[in-house]
Amino acid sequence: MKEGLARARELILSHRRFVILEHEKPDGDCVGSSLALALALEKWGKQALIVSDDPHPVIYDFLPGQEHFTRTGYLGLADFHADVAIFLDCGEPERCGRALPFAQKAKYWVNIDHHVSNTKFGDAVLVDPSAAATGEILWYLFGELGVNIDARIAVCLYVAVLTDTGSFRYENTTPRALRMAADLIEKGARPQEISELVYEAKPLSSVMLLGEALQTLEIHAGGKIACVSVTREMMKKVAATSEDTEGIITYPRSIQGVMVAVQFREADEGVHVSFRTRRAVDASRIAETFGGGGHPRAAGALIKGKTLPEVKTLVLEEVRRVLEQNPDLVVKA
């Protein structure tokens, strides 16, 4: 981290035009981090543009700094210029999907992330899997670089740590994460207001989609595996957007005795599989078997060229195998 920090500092201070990349289907950590970074760069008089193929989920519309955000479709690649590309929350460059060509126009790459599966790509690498969120690494970076965290930046970073810790419930809820939250509250983030905006202002379609998905709930391996599916047809039926799938997997995971929760979702490019694990099963390693990645307890993969039922058979077989025959994937708690 020290070396990455020095290099990132040098790259940031000596350049003017920055492009910020998020992973596909950006989540609260991604959105909060990229907006906080854009606002910080703005304070230094730098030009910062966040480029994503996907929109930001509407629940984050209240966050400041959105004027720095643009989608790939509104931007011509030919006349796009940037000196430095900063990847946030992306374990590998390809995670930013169709925004990658914009990063490729920059001379230098900075990689800021907390995924264990991060490939450590780029010219400056700030990867810390012990960080609760990518936003936590930014909070640290801002401290080191002497950025004045104002209320606007504080709200963005608070959303990053709030969402990635599952409202300070997951095992990444470390003293550091809570110290960060306390610091951000002192700097102007309002926890009650933010929680209400993030968790209690959902579009109706998301709750309707949850209802559809829960009807597909299946229990396997004597209660250790629970899975749900989200099909294109269901999405159409309730007029759901892809962000409405967020959070569905917390329901199968919440069932007593379930060690691995799996969600299958029909996406444009294939079937996206999400994994959530408990009791020390390594989700990231299961996802890696299918070309994906993530964290020890939350990971995902995109499987191309197969139907949802085919993917389901394949994945459930692997999860069963992991649970029954591969004790080395079960890390001691």
Site of interaction with ligand 5GP (CB under 6 A) = 23, 91, 95, 274, 292-295, 298-302
And the tokens for 242?
Answer: 């892809």
Binding at 293: pick from ligand 5GP, Mn ion, none (beta carbon under 5-8 Å per type): ligand 5GP
Binding at 29: pick from ligand 5GP, Mn ion, none (beta carbon under 5-8 Å per type): Mn ion
Nearer residue to Mn ion within complex by CB, 130 or 313: 130
Binding at 91: pick from Mn ion, ligand 5GP, none (beta carbon under 5-8 Å per type): ligand 5GP
What is the three-class DSSP state of 68? helix
Query: Can you give the length of the chain in residues?
Result: 333
- Cα–chain-centroid distance for residue 60? 14
Nearer residue to ligand 5GP within complex by CB, 135 or 300: 300
- Cβ neighbours of residue 150 closer than 8 Å, sequence gap 6 or more: 39, 187, 188
Nearer residue to ligand 5GP within complex by CB, 14 or 250: 250
And the tokens for 40?
Answer: 């910080």
Q: Does 54 bind Mn ion (CB under 5 A)?
A: no
What is the three-class DSSP state of 218? strand
Which bin fits 288, alpha (ψ -120 to 50), beta or left (φ > 0)? alpha
Q: Output the residue with the shortest Cβ distance to Mn ion.
A: 29
Nearer residue to Mn ion within complex by CB, 24 or 89: 89
Q: Contact letters (x/-) for Mn ion, 163-192, by CB under 5 A?
A: -x----------------------------
What is the distance between the alpha carbons of residues 180 and 33, in angstroms, rounded to a whole number? 14
Q: How far is the CB of 264 from Mn ion (least distance, A)?
A: 22
Binding at 135: pick from ligand 5GP, Mn ion, none (beta carbon under 5-8 Å per type): none
Q: How far is the CB of 89 from Mn ion (least distance, A)?
A: 4
- Cβ neighbours of residue 275 closer than 8 Å, sequence gap 6 or more: 260, 261, 262, 283, 286, 287, 294, 298, 299, 300, 319
Q: Would you give the DSSP letter of residue 290?
A: T
Q: Does 29 bind Mn ion (CB under 5 A)?
A: yes
Binding at 301: pick from Mn ion, ligand 5GP, none (beta carbon under 5-8 Å per type): ligand 5GP
Part in contact with Mn ion (CB under 5 A); list of ranges 134-142, 187-195, 232-240, 264-272 = 134-142
Binding at 164: pick from ligand 5GP, Mn ion, none (beta carbon under 5-8 Å per type): Mn ion
Which CA distances in Å does 105 have to 17, 19, 63, 79, 102? 11, 9, 28, 10, 5
What is the distance between the alpha carbons of residues 93 and 193, in angstroms, rounded to a whole number? 34
Footprint of Mn ion on residues 75-94 (CB under 5 A)?
89
What is the distance between the alpha carbons of residues 139 and 298, in angstroms, rounded to a whole number? 23
Residues lying near Mn ion in the complex (CB under 5 A) are found at 29, 89, 134, 164
